[in-house]
Amino acid sequence: MENKLYDYILSLGDNSLILGHRLSELCGHGPSLETDIALTNISLDLYGQVRNYFQYAAELAGEDASEDSIAFLRTDRQHKNVWLVEQPNEDFGHVICRQFLFDSFHMPLMKQLCESKDERISAIAKKSIKESSYHERFSSEWMKRLGAGTEVSNQKVQAALDHLYPFVNEFFQETPLDKEMKENGIGGDLPAIKEVYFKNVHALLLEAGLTIPEPDWRQTDGKLGYHSEHLGFILAELQYMQRSYPNSDW
């Protein structure tokens, strides 16, 4: 049981870790100072969540495990995040669209996890939910701005949406671990979130003047540890110091 709980916590934390990393790449390069600051804020919130999850996971793992050994010393196959959060910052349209598609999932998940039978997970969710609702508001507002702003912005955010939409399916792919965690009252109920998700997302896309994509393929394996080529490069940067200077305090 402890092992499964550990894996489940990592599956929650890894999405925040990788998305936080992607957003942190943008710090200093945003389209305006205000958006730069806002995106960095989101990155900081996500890293705050990561630390809470990984500190808890490290306690469960015992021995020499720490938030940093979990964050910096795992192979790509040991990461449980979905492909969506690995996708690069092609342009501001991709950044916002990726964020919106993630927040629309993350918010209802946090709502459910507030009721988790695991007290620590529930506490983390209660803390995260305020942040997530701010993120969701930010990304939704920007989806509307870009969708309804100019012809160029509409085209750009539509292109981002078309590219990213096939990845959302993965959120709702129930692994055996997800099922078990749902049944024992610790984890989220993915099929239930799926219903809310598409209802909300579709409504916002229509309001933003965007076309809802109908992808003919759907991404599946990230949660099982099979990732895009992007993840290897993310980890190469993320882990560079810990791998080059093992067993050091920073």
Q: Which residues bind another protein (CB under 8 A)?
A: 21, 24-25, 27-37, 40-41, 43-44, 47-48, 50-51, 54, 67-68, 71-72, 91-92, 144-146, 148-150, 152-153, 156, 237-238, 240-242, 245, 247-250
> From the CB of 34, what's the least distance to another protein, in Å?
8
| 75 versus 155: smaller Cβ distance to another protein | 155
> From the CB of 31, what's the least distance to another protein, in Å?
2
| 102 versus 142: smaller Cβ distance to another protein | 142
Angle between the N-to-C axes of helices 119-148 and 33-61, in degrees from 0 to 180, rounded to the nearest 10: 160
> Alpha-carbon distance 73 to 65, whole Å?
10
> Among residues 16, 5, 131, 121, which one has the least CA distance to residue 71?
16
Helix %, strand %, coil % of the chain (to 5): 75, 0, 25
> From the CB of 118, what's the least distance to another protein, in Å?
22
CA-CA distances (angstroms) from residue 152 to 96, 122, 192, 204? Answer: 15, 43, 36, 19
> From the CB of 131, what's the least distance to another protein, in Å?
14
> From the CB of 185, what's the least distance to another protein, in Å?
29
| 36 versus 180: smaller Cβ distance to another protein | 36
Tokens of 151: 């012809």
> Among residues 142, 150, 41, which one has the least CA distance to residue 93?
142
> From the CB of 25, what's the least distance to another protein, in Å?
6
| Ramachandran quadrant class, 219 (left: phi over 0; alpha: psi -120 to 50; beta: rest) | beta
> Among residues 246, 133, 138, 158, which one has the least CA distance to residue 209?
158
Query: Could you tell me if 22 and 46 are in contact, meaning their C-beta atoms sit under 8 angstroms apart?
Result: no
For residue 182, give the amino acid letter.
K
> From the CB of 250, what's the least distance to another protein, in Å?
4
**b vs e for 120-133, b when ≥16 Cβ sit within 10 Å of the residue's Cβ?**
bbeebbeebbebbe
Phi first, then psi: give them for residue 66, nearest 5 degrees.
-145, 170
